[in-house]
């Protein structure tokens, strides 16, 4: 390892072990269990640790909020989160390595037909507390009400909300599992998933991470990792 990378390794992982916060609550990015996680974020973390000559510790969480809090609280050195203004004061992000759509599900007989129908007085939208779509909808909704919980889908299925918000892949699986549900056409947001670290890191370390992600994208590493997840 060259001198520059050794300095970056020391700055990024001062404990001598690279601690990566892995969000198992987003099945596009990570799957498996805390004891045996897998997926594109795990692959990226392993590649980064390998390039920096560091041992890797995968610190797994069930949601984005817990993953963010670990990053903010010093329990993790890197994280994999959606780029959101509410997080950017704490986390220095790379450019996105993947973009995920945020979508709405409603009961089949709902009067809510389009995305434009959702933001109306009296409409209750279930979200996972602290998820990227929670932060986005908190900023953008003018009339509808957010119903936050640790499991927004369960809240929706218990009829405590009129609409469920989530990312396309698991929401598609939801409506396929419950014939009485449907997805609204289109997406209400694009969730830009990126690698991040605390803003306490040096500018050189942040630039290294940004270049690292761009190299993985250009070389096909990200595409291959995502394809392996889908297979």
Superfamily of domain 100-189: Periplasmic binding protein-like II (3.40.190.10)
Superfamily of domain 3-98+193-230: Periplasmic binding protein-like II (3.40.190.10)
> CA separation (Å) from 201 to 19, 94, 215?
14, 13, 21
Is 3-98+193-230's fold the same as 100-189's? yes
**CA dihedral over 118, 119, 120, 122, signed as positive or negative:** positive
Report pLDDT for 231.
Answer: 44
The residue ranges of every structural domain in the chain are 3-98+193-230, 100-189
Nearest to 87 by CA among 103, 71, 63: 71
Phi, psi of 41 (to 5 degrees): -70, -35
pLDDT tens series, the chain, 231 aa? 677 799 999 999 999 999 999 999 998 899 999 999 999 999 999 999 999 999 999 999 999 999 999 999 999 999 999 999 999 999 999 999 999 999 999 999 999 999 999 999 999 999 999 999 999 999 999 999 999 999 999 999 999 999 999 999 899 999 999 999 999 999 999 999 999 999 999 999 999 999 999 999 999 999 999 888 654
**Residues in Cβ contact with 55 at an 8 Å cutoff, skipping those fewer than 6 apart:** 16, 17, 18, 49
Residue-level length of the chain: 231
Report pLDDT for 118.
Answer: 98
Helix, strand, or coil here: 93? strand
Report pLDDT for 1.
Answer: 61
Rg, C-alpha atoms of the chain: 19
CA gap 124, 163 in Å, rounded: 6
Report pLDDT for 227.
Answer: 84
pTM: 0.82
Count of CB atoms situated within 10 Å of the CB of 185: 10
């Amino acid at each position: 390892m060259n001198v520059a990378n050794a300095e970056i390794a020391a700055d990024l992982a001062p404990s001598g072990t690279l601690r990566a916060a892995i969000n198992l609550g987003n099945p596009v990015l990570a799957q498996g269990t805390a004891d045996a996680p897998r997926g594109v974020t795990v692959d990226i973390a392993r590649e980064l640790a390998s390039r920096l000559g560091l041992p890797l510790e995968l610190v797994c969480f069930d949601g984005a909020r817990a993953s963010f809090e670990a990053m903010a609280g010093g329990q993790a050195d890197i994280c994999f989160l959606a780029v959101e203004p509410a997080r950017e004061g704490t986390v220095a992000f790379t450019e996105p390595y993947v973009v995920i759509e945020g979508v709405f599900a409603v009961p089949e007989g709902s009067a809510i037909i389009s995305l434009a129908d959702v933001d109306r007085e009296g409409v209750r939208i279930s979200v996972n507390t602290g998820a990227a779509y929670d932060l986005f909808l908190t900023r953008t909704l003018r009339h509808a009400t957010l119903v936050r919980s640790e499991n927004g889908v369960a809240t929706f299925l218990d009829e405590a909300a009129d609409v469920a918000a989530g990312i396309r892949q698991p929401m598609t699986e939801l409506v396929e599992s419950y014939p009485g549900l449907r997805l609204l056409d289109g997406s209400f947001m694009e969730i830009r998933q990126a690698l991040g670290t605390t803003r306490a890191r040096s500018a050189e370390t942040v630039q290294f991470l940004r270049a690292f992600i761009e190299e993985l994208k250009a070389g096909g590493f990200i595409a291959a990792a995502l394809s392996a997840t889908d297979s």
